[in-house]
Structures are given as structure tokens and as C-alpha cells.
């Protein structure tokens, strides 16, 4: 169990003195590249590569492999299940292959490891979309959404926050587990 906790601590470089810094750091994030962008990644491949690199750097066993793109009438989509309790879904623009939004769905199995996998997946999504954010800034996003706070009931959340031009949101319940997503505020 302490190995899993150590992975989270090193991921966020978190200690008691830095808790207030997390939120302050994310308030200074500028919109990514151009405020005219409507996507969260230039391609699903770019997102996949960044996500997998994050997982390697954090010693997570989670990886996006053999992701199949499903053709749709308006947008293409992908879905990938890491295991029976954790998956990721995305929407891809048909005309230029940019990634428009991504959603993670996870339900812990009661083990510390499953909880760590959910947090690492959310952090990996943030890191893949906004790779210039520091570990403290990523932690600040999760903190604003209600995670990393002992007083929050993580199975009763309905929050969102905008960092730069990316909207992150979370919804959770004891029945559905945790849903976490990201989209560009310019994507209507």
C-alpha cells in the first residue's frame, strides 16, 4: 500500500506546504496555443503517445494499446478498457482527426491500486492535453474538482473547472463510479 501512496506523492510532489500553491499555480495558466483552437489534442495518436509516456514516467502499468477508431456520422470515436473497472472514450473530428473530447469512466474495486489507477488516469489525461502543466498544476486541477481532499465524498461529486481553454469536469456516484472528462471551451 505504501508503494501506491509513494507513486501518488511523487506524481504530485505533494506535501502540506504545497497544497495552497497547487490552486495558485493553475490560476496563472494561459490558454493553450491559440484561443481559436477547438480541440484538446492535434490527433488521437498524439494523445495516445503523450498518455502512454506519462504512464511510463509514473511507473503505471496502464497503457493505451491497439485503440480502434469507430467511424461515426458526425464524429469518429474510440473507446478503450484498461480493465473491467476503468475505461476511456474519445470523440475525434472526422474532417481533420483532431481529438475533441475525452472521458474516463472508472469504478474502484475497493483496493488502493484501483483508486491509484483512476487518479493516474485522470492525471494522464490532463498531462496529455496540457503537457506544459507542472505536477503541482495537475494536482491543483484535481484538487479544484474535489480530489486530494480528505473531506470530499468522491462518490458524490459534480464539479468543473476551466484551465486555459480546457474544461475539466467530474461527476460521480456510488452507482456509476467516477466520470472525468475534458474538452475545449471553444468546441461547441
Q: DSSP secondary-structure letter at 41?
A: B
Q: Within its chain, how far is the Cα of 4 from the centroid?
A: 18
User: What average pLDDT does the chain have?
Assistant: 85
> pLDDT digits over 54-108, tens only?
999 999 999 999 889 999 999 999 999 999 999 999 999 999 999 999 999 999 9
Percent of the residues in the chain that have a pLDDT greater than 70, as a whole number: 80
CA angle (187, 33, 170) in 5-degree steps:
45
CA–CA distances in Å: residue 83 to residues 36, 105, 118, 181: 36, 11, 11, 18
Task: Assess contact for 97 and 44: CB atoms under 8 A.
Answer: yes
**The total number of structural domains that make up the chain:** 1
8-36 average pLDDT score: 52
Pairwise CA distance, residues 31 & 164, whole Å: 4
Query: Of 72, 53, 73, nearest to 64 (Cα)?
Result: 53
User: Which residues span the domain enclosing 65?
Assistant: 2-184
pTM: 0.84
End-to-end CA separation in angstroms for the chain:
43
Q: Inform me whether the pLDDT recorded for 10 exceeds 60.
A: no
Pairwise CA distance, residues 84 & 111, whole Å: 14
Task: Assess contact for 119 and 127: CB atoms under 8 A.
Answer: no
Pairwise CA distance, residues 29 & 118, whole Å: 24
Pairwise CA distance, residues 31 & 14, whole Å: 25
Q: Inform me whether the pLDDT recorded for 161 exceeds 70.
A: yes
Q: What is the pLDDT of residue 113?
A: 93
Q: What is the pLDDT of residue 3?
A: 54
Amino acid at each position: 500500500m505504501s508503494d501506491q501512496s509513494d507513486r501518488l506523492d511523487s506524481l504530485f510532489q505533494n506535501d502540506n506546504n504545497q497544497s495552497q500553491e497547487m490552486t495558485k499555480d493553475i490560476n496563472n495558466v494561459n490558454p493553450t496555443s491559440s484561443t481559436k483552437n477547438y480541440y484538446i489534442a492535434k490527433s488521437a495518436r498524439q494523445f495516445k503517445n503523450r498518455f502512454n509516456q506519462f504512464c511510463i514516467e509514473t511507473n503505471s502499468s496502464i497503457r493505451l494499446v491497439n485503440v480502434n477508431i469507430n467511424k461515426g456520422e458526425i464524429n469518429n470515436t474510440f473507446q478503450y478498457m484498461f480493465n473491467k473497472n476503468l475505461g476511456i472514450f474519445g470523440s475525434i473530428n472526422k474532417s481533420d482527426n483532431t481529438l475533441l473530447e475525452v472521458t474516463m469512466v472508472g469504478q474502484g474495486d475497493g483496493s488502493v491500486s484501483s483508486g491509484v489507477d483512476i487518479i493516474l488516469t485522470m492525471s494522464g489525461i490532463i498531462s496529455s492535453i496540457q503537457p506544459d502543466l507542472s505536477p503541482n498544476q495537475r494536482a491543483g486541477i484535481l484538487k479544484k474538482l474535489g480530489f486530494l481532499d480528505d473531506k470530499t465524498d468522491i462518490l458524490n461529486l459534480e464539479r468543473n473547472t476551466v484551465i486555459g481553454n480546457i474544461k475539466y469536469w467530474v461527476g460521480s456516484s456510488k452507482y456509476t463510479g467516477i466520470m472525468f472528462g475534458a474538452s475545449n471551451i471553444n468546441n461547441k
